[in-house]
Amino acid sequence: MSTAPATGPATPSKAKLWTGYVLTAIPALMLMFSAGMKLMKPPMVVQGFIDLGYPEHLALPIGILELSVAVLFLIPRTAVLGAILVAAYLGGATATHVRLGQPFIGPVILGILAWIGLYLRDERLKALVPLRK
């Protein structure tokens, strides 16, 4: 019988962990700010919806969806599901801007930051996405 302690998942270094937290916070805060604007519906948001070809009445459900995705992404237990949904949401944003011939780098960068942040703070992802040294 062995008396060696059971080993759990490795924990990331403090530097990786804090870098992951910062990179996670950037897209999460941007999504929450954007959701808040959609929920408040100031005139510039209403005009933005019209310019993008979406009816104004969709601002509320899209804002709720955006806020929900950001919250799921911030909760450690649901962070992977949240990251998948963040990527899906931002994919839709990217498609909207591409369709209109507008710059689309912003949603792409936020999606990349979300996944890099999660990768740095959750060691379990390294088993799923092994990067070579």
pLDDT in tens, 28-82: 999 999 999 999 999 999 999 999 999 999 999 999 999 999 999 999 999 999 9
Residue 100 lies in a domain: yes
Q: Name the residue range of residue 73's domain.
A: 14-127
Residue 57 lies in a domain: yes
Predicted confidence at residue 8, as pLDDT, reads: 56
Q: Confidence band (pLDDT; 50, 70, 90) for 128?
A: confident
Indicate the number of domains in the chain: 1
Using the predicted structure, report yes or no on whether residue 87 has a pLDDT greater than 90. Answer: yes
Report d(CA 88, CA 85) in Å as an integer: 5
Residue 24 lies in a domain: yes
Residue 132 lies in a domain: no
Q: Which long-range contacts (CB under 8 A, 24 or more apart) does 39-46 make?
A: 39/63, 39/64, 39/67
The three-state secondary structure class of 50 is: helix
Residue 8 lies in a domain: no
Using the predicted structure, report yes or no on whether residue 2 has a pLDDT greater than 80. Answer: no
